[in-house]
């Protein structure tokens, strides 16, 4: 679990790169590089207020995977008020 001050979603990852998606720490935030198709799905999930999971790692990387989970919460008292 990683806490971040901000998240950047970059939809320019090529499908030929060999990655499902890539995540990296930048300063005090998180950058997630995803394909154009995943970006379209993410946008739709945000519009519909649905949870969304991004699997990061190499396409043929085996069992080692990272996940970026976008979750909607019912109780906003525990979220960052800033």
| C-alpha dihedral (24, 14, 59, 55), degrees to nearest 10 | 50
Looking at per-residue pLDDT, the higher value among 8 and 4 belongs to 8
Tokens coding 78: 């525990």
Rounded average pLDDT over 43-66: 88
Taking all residues of the chain, what is their mean pLDDT, rounded to a whole number? 87
What's the topology of domain 6-70?
Gyrase A; domain 2 (3.30.1360)
Q: What is the pLDDT of residue 74?
A: 80
Tokens coding 81: 């008020």
């Amino acid at each position: 679990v990683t806490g971040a001050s901000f998240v950047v979603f970059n939809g320019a990852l090529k499908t030929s790169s060999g990655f499902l998606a890539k995540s990296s720490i930048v300063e005090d935030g998180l950058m997630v590089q995803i394909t154009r198709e995943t970006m379209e799905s993410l946008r739709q999930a945000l519009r519909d207020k649905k949870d969304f999971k991004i699997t990061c790692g190499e396409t043929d990387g085996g069992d080692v995977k990272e996940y970026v989970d976008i979750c909607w919460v019912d109780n906003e008292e525990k979220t960052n008020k800033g």
